[in-house]
Amino acid sequence: MSAPFIESPYAPRRRRTREVAVGEIRLGGSQPIRIQSMTTTDTLDTAGTADQIEQLADAGCEIARVTAPSLREAENLAAIRSELDRRGVRIPLVADIHFTPNAAMIAAEHVEKVRINPGNYADKKKFAVREYTDVQYAEEVERVADRFRPLVRRCKELGRAIRIGTNHGSLSDRIMNRYGDTPRGMVESALEFLDVCEHEGFRDVVFSMKASNTQVAIAAYRLLASSLSDRFIRRDGDIEYDERSYPFHVGVTEAGDGEDGRVKSAIGIGSLLADGIGDTIRVSLTESPIKEVPVARALADQAERLWSCGAVAPSGFDAVFVDDVYTHRRRETLRIETAGPALRGALRGALGGEEPVRVELELGPVPDDPEAAVDSLIAALGRAKDIECEGLLVDSLDPSAADQLKRFVRALESRGVKIPLAIRVEATWIDPCLPLASRLVVMVGALVPDESMAEAAAKVAKARLVLEWELRAPSDEIPALVDRVIAASARSKLETWLISVDADLPIHANRLAVARLRERGVKVPLVLRYRRNADETDEDALLRASVELGAPLCDGLGDAVSMGLQGWDPPERALELGYRILQGARLRTTWTEFISCPSCGRTRFDLEETTARIKARTQHLSGVKIAIMGCIVNGPGEMADADFGYVGSGPGVVNLYVGKECVSRQIPSAEADDRLVDLIRQRGMWKEPD
């Protein structure tokens, strides 16, 4: 049996590691999460690169990475370091190395850390299919080790750190042929390099396991954490999680720009941080690197607050919330009609089972002016492009507002709104709402007596509606509450019910609820809720929503996301965010998926502007994946499972790809957008925008 990837998935606790020094900055152990970014300037432009690093440092970046594609750039790192010293900018530098071990040897002389990519340090990536015998495979590993060993020895002498930075998209042919492009392949690829480091007695190692697919990134980091623990157990024969393990640099690669880039980064990075995994983070956006820093800072702050909350897992609780934490699989649930009598049979009125994860809007208390509120809701939904609101939830916690609630429902009906309506109520105040809703959301906590719960369940069962038990309790009390709602539902012969959780630690509480349901053999759907705090900025709210909803979704939990409308201006942003999170977690595709690199010193064109241009023409192609990559050295290897690739191949020219195959070379940039659209047309994936 493998070691678990963290101590417990039911309480936030930081994964323990050794500390590694990167110049004057230490990371891992009890150090704060360190913020990183990467320059996008030409590394031969000493002043320009130093300017950007200085801006990064001013913005709060603690470690700056600079690409060193060839010996000349590696040598110029000395000049950049001198320039920074002259300006009094004290920030550790990392050299980013692909394909050129000789550049790594030079870079190690001038910078505090060297990042190597195991997929291309001394291995090939030509998408070649070849079977290796065990002997041939071992010979190849030894050949790679021979190329890597000198760097390890030199870094040890100079006191430099090394990041073994695996990328899902750039695994070597050798690893791909043995493991496929899997999290296991990513981990094995990294561990081969660790073998060399440990054999040389070198321990200043940091790992990364980046992917543009958030589910893959999460699985790979978890698997690496577990594999490292296994390694120590095998070697030293004990089962302690201790400070011998290595820190992780966490990131999602090619996340893109704007809200999509932030959502995707927050889902991947934030989910791992919520697990306690991550000692230094980089948010990769197709924007100025300066803009990456506040996003990373916000994610780190959220995680550090979570880690320090002191919550503990319920004692003796050993049920599991998923079968396999290293493979995404949506939790098996019952399909439930939620449309109510008027809408029964409408597709969007069902959730769970094979239904897509639904997006609901939570409106808050019944509005004072119900008719005006319904009109402005209809206007907001009309402005939301490409997406539909699939459920509405309104609070009716005040019996004196019963008439207002009726007016609200009548206003919806009279204006032809055919969206299933849920009403949130107390267990003791249910009767007036029964004729009005398709689903009742009944709040339950430790103080609600069993009798009240059973009575509410019996009334909903009799009205043949759906009941959602909203469990309101501290996380560690959730399993006990799950048992009580199971009992109340059974006692009242209520068949169509589901749950949601309103707890202090939503990610962990949802896991606890599902683990208990699994243990009891109950497959009711789960609704994930997000409400923004009054004092949150738009960006903080977007990041927290992405983490709190994205983490369970990537775990395979959640049949609907319910987005609180309050605080969003315009209100349809809440709905859009729900859909963006589903797309970022790869649960439901609404728009084109863009995989665009953050750009670096190798980039051949203005990536931000090009991405915006291509997005404007193609973002309506739901389900199509388009990669926009800065260079042909890494771009084709790292564009993952994109359907089409647009890759800078030289100044002013672009190569176009279909899947992994380059189909047009050296196209002048002025023509490349049209040629890309032609390619999409030829493959039958184009449709005209509305």
Please pick, from the candidates 409, 527, 595, 631, the single residue that binds ligand SF4 as defined by CB under 6 A. Answer: 631
Q: Cβ contacts of residue 432 below 8 Å, gap of 6+?
A: 399, 402, 405
x/- contact string, 586-625, with ligand SF4 (CB under 6 A)?
A: -----------xxxx-xx----------------------
In the complex, least distance from residue 214 CB atom to ligand SF4, rounded to whole angstroms: 18
Helices assigned H by DSSP within 318-449: 340-343, 370-383, 402-414
In the complex, least distance from residue 131 CB atom to ligand SF4, rounded to whole angstroms: 30
- Side chain identity at 554, as an amino acid letter? C
Interface stretch with ligand SF4, choices 16-24, 352-360, 450-458, 631-639 (CB under 6 A): 631-639
Q: Is 564 in the site for ligand SF4 (CB under 6 A)?
A: no
- For residue 393, the 8-state DSSP code is E
In the complex, least distance from residue 445 CB atom to ligand SF4, rounded to whole angstroms: 49
In the complex, least distance from residue 43 CB atom to ligand SF4, rounded to whole angstroms: 11
Nearer to ligand SF4 (CB atom), residue 122 or residue 458: 122
In the complex, least distance from residue 45 CB atom to ligand SF4, rounded to whole angstroms: 15
Q: Distance between CA atoms of 296 and 360, rounded to whole angstroms?
A: 29
* Alpha-carbon torsion (311, 317, 323, 329), positive or negative: negative
Q: Distance between CA atoms of 654 and 603, rounded to whole angstroms?
A: 11
Nearer to ligand SF4 (CB atom), residue 525 or residue 636: 636
Q: Is 271 in the site for ligand SF4 (CB under 6 A)?
A: no
Q: Distance between CA atoms of 300 and 532, rounded to whole angstroms?
A: 18
Nearer to ligand SF4 (CB atom), residue 43 or residue 489: 43
Q: Distance between CA atoms of 579 and 583, rounded to whole angstroms?
A: 6
Q: Is 645 in the site for ligand SF4 (CB under 6 A)?
A: no
Q: Distance between CA atoms of 81 and 91, rounded to whole angstroms?
A: 9
Nearer to ligand SF4 (CB atom), residue 515 or residue 631: 631
Q: What is the dihedral of CA 539, 545, 5, 519, to 10 degrees?
A: 170
In the complex, least distance from residue 525 CB atom to ligand SF4, rounded to whole angstroms: 40
Quick one: residue 340, left, alpha or beta (phi over 0 = left, psi -120 to 50 = alpha)?
left
Nearer to ligand SF4 (CB atom), residue 293 or residue 488: 293
- Side chain identity at 481, as an amino acid letter? L
Nearer to ligand SF4 (CB atom), residue 561 or residue 632: 632
Q: Is 49 in the site for ligand SF4 (CB under 6 A)?
A: no
CA 651 vs. chain centroid, Å, equals 33
Nearer to ligand SF4 (CB atom), residue 224 or residue 600: 600
Q: Is 282 in the site for ligand SF4 (CB under 6 A)?
A: no
Q: Is 97 in the site for ligand SF4 (CB under 6 A)?
A: no
Please pick, from the candidates 9, 289, 349, 630, the single residue that binds ligand SF4 as defined by CB under 6 A. Answer: 630
Contact set for ligand SF4, span 194-253 (CB under 6 A) = none
In the complex, least distance from residue 647 CB atom to ligand SF4, rounded to whole angstroms: 8
In the complex, least distance from residue 253 CB atom to ligand SF4, rounded to whole angstroms: 8
The three-state DSSP-derived secondary structure of 104-126 is: HHHHHHHCCEEEECCCCCCCCCC
In the complex, least distance from residue 598 CB atom to ligand SF4, rounded to whole angstroms: 6
Nearer to ligand SF4 (CB atom), residue 72 or residue 493: 72
Interface stretch with ligand SF4, choices 215-223, 469-477, 534-542, 629-637 (CB under 6 A): 629-637
Tokens of 309: 């909350």
Nearer to ligand SF4 (CB atom), residue 216 or residue 457: 216
Please pick, from the candidates 263, 629, 640, 656, the single residue that binds ligand SF4 as defined by CB under 6 A. Answer: 629
CB 645 within 8 A of CB 217: no
Please pick, from the candidates 562, 635, 645, 673, the single residue that binds ligand SF4 as defined by CB under 6 A. Answer: 635
Q: Is 119 in the site for ligand SF4 (CB under 6 A)?
A: no
Break the chain down into helix, strand, coil percent, rounded to 5.
Answer: 45, 20, 40
Nearer to ligand SF4 (CB atom), residue 210 or residue 484: 210
Nearer to ligand SF4 (CB atom), residue 71 or residue 387: 71
In the complex, least distance from residue 6 CB atom to ligand SF4, rounded to whole angstroms: 30
Count of residues engaged in binding ligand SF4, rule: CB under 6 A: 13
Nearer to ligand SF4 (CB atom), residue 526 or residue 676: 676
Nearest to 381 by CA among 419, 343, 424, 350: 419
In the complex, least distance from residue 628 CB atom to ligand SF4, rounded to whole angstroms: 9
Q: What is the DSSP string of 371-387?
A: HHHHHHHHHHHHHS-S-
Q: Is 512 in the site for ligand SF4 (CB under 6 A)?
A: no
Nearer to ligand SF4 (CB atom), residue 552 or residue 630: 630
Please pick, from the candidates 192, 390, 638, 673, the single residue that binds ligand SF4 as defined by CB under 6 A. Answer: 638
Q: Is 467 in the site for ligand SF4 (CB under 6 A)?
A: no
Nearer to ligand SF4 (CB atom), residue 286 or residue 404: 286
Secondary structure of residue 564 in the 3-state scheme: strand
Tokens of 204: 């200043």
Strand pairing class (560-564; 350-351): unpaired
Q: Distance between CA atoms of 671 and 317, rounded to whole angstroms?
A: 61
In the complex, least distance from residue 523 CB atom to ligand SF4, rounded to whole angstroms: 43
Nearest to 498 by CA among 360, 683, 304, 622: 360
Nearer to ligand SF4 (CB atom), residue 455 or residue 606: 606
Q: Which residues pair with 562 in a beta bridge?
A: 360, 529
Quick one: residue 31, left, alpha or beta (phi over 0 = left, psi -120 to 50 = alpha)?
beta
CA 346 vs. chain centroid, Å, equals 31
Nearer to ligand SF4 (CB atom), residue 25 or residue 597: 597
In the complex, least distance from residue 121 CB atom to ligand SF4, rounded to whole angstroms: 14
Nearer to ligand SF4 (CB atom), residue 438 or residue 649: 649
Q: Is 169 in the site for ligand SF4 (CB under 6 A)?
A: no
In the complex, least distance from residue 97 CB atom to ligand SF4, rounded to whole angstroms: 11
Nearest to 425 by CA among 410, 440, 438: 440
Strand pairing class (249-250; 280-282): parallel
CB 634 within 8 A of CB 640: no
CA distances from 399 to 74, 363, 368, 458, 461 (A): 72, 18, 14, 20, 22
User: Nearest residue to ligand SF4, using CB?
Assistant: 630
Interface stretch with ligand SF4, choices 150-158, 177-185, 496-504, 630-638 (CB under 6 A): 630-638
Secondary structure of residue 85 in the 3-state scheme: helix
Q: Is 634 in the site for ligand SF4 (CB under 6 A)?
A: yes
Q: What is the dihedral of CA 40, 164, 18, 60, to 10 degrees?
A: 10
User: Is omega for the bond preceding 571 within 30 degrees of 0, making it cis?
Assistant: no
- For residue 269, the 8-state DSSP code is I
Q: Distance between CA atoms of 320 and 226, rounded to whole angstroms?
A: 16
In the complex, least distance from residue 583 CB atom to ligand SF4, rounded to whole angstroms: 22
Nearest to 179 by CA among 244, 215, 223, 225: 223
In the complex, least distance from residue 631 CB atom to ligand SF4, rounded to whole angstroms: 3
Footprint of ligand SF4 (CB under 6 A):
597-600, 602-603, 629-631, 633-635, 638
